[in-house]
């Protein structure tokens, strides 16, 4: 019979302040997982060549319609005129894909940090309060009596857990995956027990470096 793990965690403003960098790091780490998996599924070089070819074909077609059919009405040429700059922009994006990717990733890093802050702001509005966790086999229950909340998570639906010292983020299996639950860890003993329970349930566990 699987061991049952039961513990309580008091969520205070101080705990949330210390945990915010860990939540940010966990979200970004999972984002990197998705990014790398997407790159493996869709090779960047092939995508870049296909995008540039599509843009070139679109530019040539629009140019041909504009130049070679001057007898057409201005109204009938509205679409070629409108599509020409769009294909130019598309070609530019794919031609300079590497630099655009660097800028986009920097932007996404800032978006992830804001997301972590917003998630914790929702928790801060109700803090302090206590949450009780019960791990039993492949089932996780979380109960917060102050908020009248009771959440059940089937660990079979969880692909990966990314854990810091004060929290563990559980992400779903379905592609591309999403944050399903944040499990709070009050002390090293609870952290060790929770990570062991997740591993026993078949969840891949990544531990963030302190």
**Pairing, β 167-172 against β 158-163:** antiparallel
Strands 149-154 and 129-136, bridge-based pairing: unpaired
On the question of pLDDT at 147 being above 60, the answer is yes
Least confidently predicted of 107-111, 175-179, 185-189: 175-179
What are the backbone angles phi and psi of residue 73, rounded to the nearest 5°? Answer: -70, 155
Q: Is 73 exposed, middle or buried (0-12, 13-18, 19+ CB in 10 A)?
A: exposed
The count of other CB atoms within 10 Å of the CB of residue 158 is 22
Q: Tens digit of pLDDT for each residue in 97-138?
A: 777 777 888 889 999 999 999 999 999 999 999 999 999 989
pTM, 2 dp: 0.73
Where is pLDDT greater, at 82 or 14? Answer: 14
- Condensed to tens digits (0 to 9), the pLDDT of residues 3-37 reads 899 999 999 999 999 999 999 999 999 998 888 87
Task: Say if CB 186 and CB 160 are below 8 A apart.
Answer: no
């Amino acid at each position: 019979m699987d061991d049952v793990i039961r513990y309580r965690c008091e969520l205070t403003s101080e705990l949330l302040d210390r945990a915010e960098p860990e939540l940010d790091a966990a979200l970004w780490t999972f984002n990197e997982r998705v990014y790398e998996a997407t790159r493996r599924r869709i090779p960047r070089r092939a995508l870049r060549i296909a995008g540039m070819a599509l843009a070139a074909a679109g530019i040539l077609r629009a140019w041909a319609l504009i130049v070679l059919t001057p007898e057409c009405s201005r109204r009938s040429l509205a679409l070629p005129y409108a599509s020409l700059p769009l294909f130019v922009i598309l070609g530019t994006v794919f031609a300079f894909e590497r630099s655009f990717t660097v800028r986009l990733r920097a932007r996404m890093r800032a978006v992830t940090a804001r997301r972590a802050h917003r998630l914790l702001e929702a928790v801060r509005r109700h803090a302090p309060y206590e949450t009780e966790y019960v791990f039993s086999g492949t089932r996780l229950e979380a109960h917060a009596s102050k908020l009248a909340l009771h959440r059940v998570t089937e660990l079979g639906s969880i692909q990966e857990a990314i854990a810091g010292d004060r929290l563990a983020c559980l992400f779903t299996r379905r592609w591309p995956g999403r944050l399903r639950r944040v499990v709070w860890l009050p002390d090293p003993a609870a952290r060790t027990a929770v990570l062991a329970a997740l591993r026993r349930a078949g969840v891949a566990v990544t531990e963030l470096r302190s």
